[in-house]
Amino acid sequence: MTFRYLAAPGPLELTFGVRLWAFEPGHSKLLLRGFSDPESEDGQTIVDVVFSNVTRMRLDAGYPGLMVRVAEESDAIPQAEIGRTFTDDKVYAVNPGPRYGFVVAERVDWATLDIQGHEPSPLLAEDTARLTDVAVGDIYWL
């Protein structure tokens, strides 16, 4: 399979369960993994969502669905929670609403992958060769 690396046309929206999956402290990367059917060994969709250069976050351990977009003023995330940001940082709203979450990071990337749920994320590892084999469609960034 081949893929393109594209700017997202809009926010990331998933209608299935997503869990906090891994944090790589060396490069401050956060991995959320979505499973269309967590009980199934075969035939499920896996979506990996990787935030890079994370400086702050407020997240639940899991979500029944996921929406991620660049935060807007109307999201009313308190500046005291966001803290100090750097030039390249963005504040990403995670499931905006009364129980909002957020991630302060330089970018977020996501891809649908043809892998098993227990396999490591080639998106997190920046393994282009493996992504070429397992990416289903394009990889997006926001």
Q: Are 28 and 55 in contact (CB under 8 A)?
A: yes
- Tell me how far CA of residue 100 lies from CA of 13, 60, 122, in angstroms: 15, 9, 28
Structural domain of 111: 5-141
What is the amino acid identity at position 23?
F
Q: At 136, is the secondary structure helix, strand, or coil? A: coil
The domain total for the chain is: 1
* pTM for the predicted model, two decimal places: 0.93
**Range list of H helices, the chain:** 79-82, 128-134
Q: pLDDT tens for the chain, 142 residues: list them.
A: 578 999 999 999 999 999 999 999 999 999 999 998 766 666 788 999 999 999 999 999 999 999 999 998 888 888 888 988 889 999 999 998 777 899 999 999 999 999 988 999 999 999 999 999 999 999 999 9
